[in-house]
Amino acid sequence: MARFGMLVDLTRCIGCYGCTVACQARWDLLPQVQFTKVHRYEVGTFPRVKGGVVTTQCMHCDDPPCARVCPTGATRKRADGIVVVDEQECIGCRYCQSACPYDARSFNPERNIVQKCYFCYDFVEQGEKPACVDTCMAGARIFGDLEDKGSELSRAITAKKAVQIKGTSIFYVPPRNLDTSVLPADFQEPGAVRIWQDIVHPAGKTVMGLAAGAVVAGLVVNTVNKSNNHK
Amino acid sequence: MLEQRISRRTFLKGSLVAGALATFGGKLVPLEQAEAAEATSPAASQVVPTICEMCGVKCGILAHVREGRVWRLTGNPRDPQSSGRLCARGNAGTKTLYDPDRLKGPMKRVGDGKFQPIGWEQAFKEIGAKLQELKGRYGPQTLVWLAHPELISPLEKHFMAAFGSPNYTGHGPTCYSSRNVAFEQMYGGVPGVDYRNVRYYIAFGRNLTGGIKNPDIQKIVAARAEGAHLVAVDPRLSDFAFFADEWLPIRPGTDLALVLALINVIINENLYDAAFVAERTVGFAELKAGVATYTPEWAAKITGIDAATITRLARELAAAKPAAAVDPGWHAVTGSQYYNSVQAARAVAALNALLGNLGARGGLAFPPGIKLGDPSSIMGPKPPAAAGPRWDGAGSEKWPLNKAHGMIQVFPERVKEDKPYPLKAVVIQHLNPVRSSTDSGAFIEALKQLELVVAIDIQMNDTAYYAHYVLPEATYLERYDPLMTAGNKVVLRQPAVEPLFDTRGAEEIIAGLAKAAGLSAYFNFTLEQYNDALLAPLGLTQAQLARVGVAEVEAQQPDYTKLKTPSGKIELACQAFVKAGSTLTPAWEPPLVEPGEDEFRFIQGHVPMHTHTTTDNNAYLHAIMPENELWVHPSRAGKLGIKTGDLVEVASRVGKVKVKARVTEGIHPEAVFLAHGFGCGVPLRKLAYNKGANDSALIPVITAPVSGAAAQCETLVTVRKAG
């Protein structure tokens, strides 16, 4: 089974936003909804100032917190590693947005759903590249199968000594002049997710269970009482 | 019938290949997707190969049409410019096509900012009658045509020739005039850089990855990945400055001194290509004498770049020759920014010649030539000779070298005075001089004084807003255009969808105006006939080219041993400049203005996600960058009490704007920077209206010597916290 990932070579990226817009056009996104973002950094003082560009997007985490908190199961991780949102099933509750450690999800107010980078899974299924990769003038993006050691992606990761953002499917060649601190942090489950997952969710279940139990018990007691009264 | 059974498709396919091969041995590459598209119903998906117009580069694109709607644009892999890839602007083209604020039909002005719809025929009739009336009263030269010359420009020029006016003017003086004038005189044409193979590259102000040209980006990124060393000389940390290996934050306006010092070192240390200089150039001895005093130490004092760095750059540049190039530039230092820009361009031209890089791998190169047919036989009688000199004086005794480029920035002044003749009418096509030329206020006043202003555009821009008639052109995804050549290929723009509104192709608009102005004899041809005439020697027709979008044809490689200069060689010493009142060899001239203690030099330039003033209302591009910000150095901002995000007032001697500040280490303390293309003053363009500041409102009209370029960065401004 393939496991898809992406490499962004920031030594090639020129910060043109071609990826951002190709993605928007391809998914017919609202202008304010951007799956791929471009950030520019400046460090140092004049005249010794260095700059660079870092792009961010959904990291397609190994164990995505967005999927774990999703109450309807609209967000899920596919067997090929792509984290998708079933836009029909999404109820727009935005829990996933608060759970995402990378702020990679966007709310679409017109459709009341949350959207994100889908790695253009439909293109990928047809053997094509995601729109951002396809359009990149600088050839800074490489998409492919991490399981296949012979894939363009796997070979590039080795050849370029790319840095994996741990716990995710995204690799970077860091920008020249800048250290890796400008890259997205390694995956760390946000505290809120742990609270939700380990305390709120079980507690909720317990509370709901107790409530349901109470209702059932109440009904039983009532029924028993009623039948007693009849006697 | 047999003919009916042979489908049009099969027939074309056969005749296309046979015709092409038989005639010139070139090859047409069929586009499978386009072939497939035609076989299916119009409701299904189609892929239409055409040409982008989100900037001036004209990349080949594929328009993906689904149920009659262009849903996506991608690069055409067979196009030599896009090679299948697109920038943000190219990708955002659907938002221009489906922009709700587009012009939807012809309009007539009925008051300030008020327009009423008018039928095309009525508009033509009224404009034609007015043109004839003004021609009768003032002569044909009273009409000026201003344009950002696009593929349609041959027909615009044909209209003007038929009308009898010599006054067709492009946007060159606000962009590249100085570079062109310098290289045309010294090289016989303007070469480009072989970015793909360059090993050492210096850009003086050229923001290669900011003022994006897709094909150049693809090549320079690949060259860099293979170890090319890139140097950005720029007063600010531009998009290219942070991409490059080195950023040299030069004092604005002093680049010329640095180039002259590089020449000085390369000559004095005998680092130049002696064989090339001897065989392919004239005037070396004069150049050597001319630069004798321009030492690195001299340049260091002027530029703020230390002498050791200058010497190192010269040595490294020369060591990499001939795969070493100093970019001839575009709109920046060598184009239209400073009073000394033409000297800077001449110095850059001379420096490249010393590297012997013309025609060498990784050096400078001229594009190959494709010989197209002559359409004049279908274009009516020979137009009359133009009556009188040009309106702006370009090409006259005072401005002998810039006839082709004109001087659009002097338009307001010339409208005001009636010498040598009155200007009463202007047609403005695909150009927005109110925001793209200089001194917006003066330009608006000039437009108000004219008897006839006609704007042809796809959107209501700040200039069209003052027009008597606004004629809406179909967008690039809805129309044909005269074909273009790129490298060894011919490329066709063709519609992906029918026009959404009551708009027309520019050729129809021009023909409509011509017929109404009594010039019917000159416009009895269709665009298809025109394109067919151009394609005839290649054994192709527009209909055939339409099916594939791009066709590879035979192209002639340039002959670098016979340049189009008087000597046939690169003219390091050039008499033409002396005749134009300048020096024989490139020489130091200080910039025109020096900022005082409370002043800044105002510099402007481009960003990668917008093109001039044409994309600020595009929803995708607007969302990425809705407004510009004034870059100011912390040392100066601190004294003025300005923080990032504060609203500031920027004032020059001709105008004032309000804009947000961005305090950054990435700019020379003497300068402030504003990205061009913002500050739309037209409420009809809802996204762009009043976002950011219009840089042109601040820039006074200053015409650089020799080239006639608008020296846009010779602008002094003061900055204060607003409100």
CATH number assigned to the domain comprising residue B521: 3.40.50.740
List the one residue out of B3, B102, B624, B81 whose CA is nearest residue A17. B624
B522 within a domain of the structure (yes/no): yes
B361 and B375, same domain (yes or no): no
List the one residue out of B431, B423, B429 whose CA is nearest residue B449. B423
DSSP B295-332: -HHHHHHHHSS-HHHHHHHHHHHHHTTTSEEE---SSI
Q: Tell me if A52 and B242 make a contact (CB, 8 A cut-off).
A: yes
Closest CA in chain B for residue A51: B242
Distance CA B74, CA B82 (A): 9
B467 within a domain of the structure (yes/no): yes
Q: Both tokens of residue A33? A: 């909804």
Q: Tell me if B608 and A15 make a contact (CB, 8 A cut-off).
A: yes
Q: What is the pLDDT of residue B386?
A: 84
In chain A, how many domains are there?
Answer: 2
B466 and B326, same domain (yes or no): no
The reported pTM is: 0.92
B425 and B520, same domain (yes or no): yes
CB B257 within 8 A of CB B264: no
Give B331-362 pLDDT, tens digit per residue. Answer: 999 999 999 999 999 999 999 999 999 999 99
Q: What is the pLDDT of residue A219?
A: 79
A169 and A215, same domain (yes or no): no
Q: Tell me if B85 and A18 make a contact (CB, 8 A cut-off).
A: yes
A67 and A135, same domain (yes or no): yes
Domain region containing A78: 4-182
CATH number (domain holding residue A87): 3.30.70.20
Distance CA B284, CA A209 (A): 94
B464 and B533, same domain (yes or no): yes
Our CA angle for A179, A181, A187, nearest 5°, is 135
B156 and B186, same domain (yes or no): no
The SS3 call for residue B35 is helix
Q: What is the pLDDT of residue B6?
A: 30
More confident residue, B23 or A155: A155
B496 within a domain of the structure (yes/no): no
Q: What is the pLDDT of residue B4?
A: 33
**Which residues on chain A are in Cβ contact (under 8 Å) with B222?**
139
pLDDT band, very low/low/confident/very high, at A228 (cuts 50, 70, 90):
low
For B617, half-sphere exposure in the C-beta direction (CA atoms, 13 angstrom radius) is 26
A208 and A163, same domain (yes or no): no
B380 and B520, same domain (yes or no): yes
Nearest to B86 among A18, A42, A176 (CB): A18
Domain region containing B669: 600-721
Terminal-to-terminal C-alpha distance of chain A: 67
Q: Tell me if B620 and A134 make a contact (CB, 8 A cut-off).
A: no
A90 and A114, same domain (yes or no): yes
Q: What is the pLDDT of residue B129?
A: 98
Q: Both tokens of residue B579? A: 């005749």
B636 within a domain of the structure (yes/no): yes
B29 within a domain of the structure (yes/no): no
Residues facing A8 on adjacent strands: A141, A172
Residues facing B650 on adjacent strands: B657, B719
Name the minimum distance, in Å, from the CA of A32 to any CA of chain B.
Answer: 6
A144 and A206, same domain (yes or no): no
Q: What is the pLDDT of residue A222?
A: 78
Phi, psi of B143 (to 5 degrees): -95, 130
B414 and B386, same domain (yes or no): yes
Name the minimum distance, in Å, from the CA of B218 to any CA of chain A.
Answer: 5
Candidates A7, A10, A16: best to mutate against B (most CBs of B within 10 A) is: A16
SS3 sequence of B111-180? ECCEEEECCHHHHHHHHHHHHHHHHHHHCHHHEEEEECCCCCHHHHHHHHHHHCCCCEECCHHHCCHHHH
Give B53-65 pLDDT, tens digit per residue. Answer: 999 999 999 999 9
Q: Tell me if B239 and A138 make a contact (CB, 8 A cut-off).
A: no
Q: What is the mean pLDDT of chain B?
A: 93
Residue ranges of the alpha helices (H) in B385-494? 411-416, 433-436, 440-449
B340 and B426, same domain (yes or no): no
B155 and B286, same domain (yes or no): no
Task: Judge whether residue A56 has pLDDT over 50.
Answer: yes
Terminal-to-terminal C-alpha distance of chain B: 80
Q: Tell me if A46 and B666 make a contact (CB, 8 A cut-off).
A: yes
Nearest to A16 among B87, B245, B668 (CB): B87
List the one residue out of B564, B466, B462, B459 whose CA is nearest residue B503. B459
B202 and B157, same domain (yes or no): no
Q: At what angle do helices B296-303 and B255-268 cross, to 10 degrees?
A: 170
B413 and B470, same domain (yes or no): yes
Q: What is the pLDDT of residue B2?
A: 33
Low-confidence ranges of chain B (pLDDT < 50): 1-40
In chain B, how many domains are there?
Answer: 3
Nearest to B212 among A16, A32, A49 (CB): A16
**Which residues on chain B are in Cβ contact (under 8 Å) with A31?**
95, 619-620, 622-623
